[in-house]
Amino acid sequence: MPLIRHCRFTAIDFESAGATRGKTDSPVQVGLASWSATTGHFEPFVSYLHTDQPILWSAQKIHGISLLDLSGAPPLLTLWPELKSRLAGAVVVAHGKGTEKRFLRAFPGHGFDPWLDTLLLARAAWPELADHSLGALCHAHNLTSTIGALVAMRSWHDALFDAVASLVLLAHLIDSHALMDQPLASLLHPDTSAWHARRRA
């Protein structure tokens, strides 16, 4: 298992149309970005995604994406070469990885692995915090201005902004807990027992 300082971390985030009764959800935007200890932040990518589903008002209220934004956007499946080149060989990062893993099932047998969930990491690192949403964590650790400098003219619930935010949070966690020379395994299976104990209390 490599040391954390030798790893390339690539974050992915999807924004969705919202699930209607009897139908599965559909992605409408994808954002990816990479970070490593040696190169810093690099290779941002973002794209709207074609969908045949309407965008629910509840989803649009969160991310602000309309069907007009999706005019001429490619289907997710056509972005396979782009996603493969960025995610293959990387530690794949997401904040609450369930949505991202579910949408990537569009590519059976893609082999992207290992996955690192910054939500679980944050619960293990800072169990005392009341809110472990990505925005709340970045605000609590004064990281929002750093994210904004990396992705100007974007904000929360934009897929690229949120992908970069998860990497900025990850880098902060690694630095604040002196983990750079620890094996990658120390990030993949965080101990969230203290967070669960506080929840039960």
Separation CA 118–CA 22 (nearest Å): 31
- Provide the pLDDT confidence category of residue 49 given band limits of 50, 70 and 90: very high
Q: What is the mean pLDDT of residues 60-64?
A: 96
Separation CA 162–CA 11 (nearest Å): 9
- Is there a contact between 28 and 47 (Cβ–Cβ < 8 Å)? no
Please give the angle made by the CA atoms of 90, 115 and 47, to the nearest 5 degrees: 65
- Taking Cα atoms as reference points, which of 58, 76, 64 lies closest to residue 21? 58
Q: What pLDDT digit, counting tens, does each position of 111-159 carry?
A: 999 999 999 999 999 999 999 999 999 999 999 999 999 999 999 999 9
Separation CA 62–CA 197 (nearest Å): 31
Place of tokens 């047998």: 109
Q: What is the mean pLDDT of residues 188-197?
A: 95
Q: Is the pLDDT of residue 24 over 80?
A: no
- Provide the pLDDT confidence category of residue 14 given band limits of 50, 70 and 90: very high
* CATH code of the domain made up of 4-200: 3.30.420.10
Separation CA 150–CA 87 (nearest Å): 20
Separation CA 138–CA 135 (nearest Å): 5
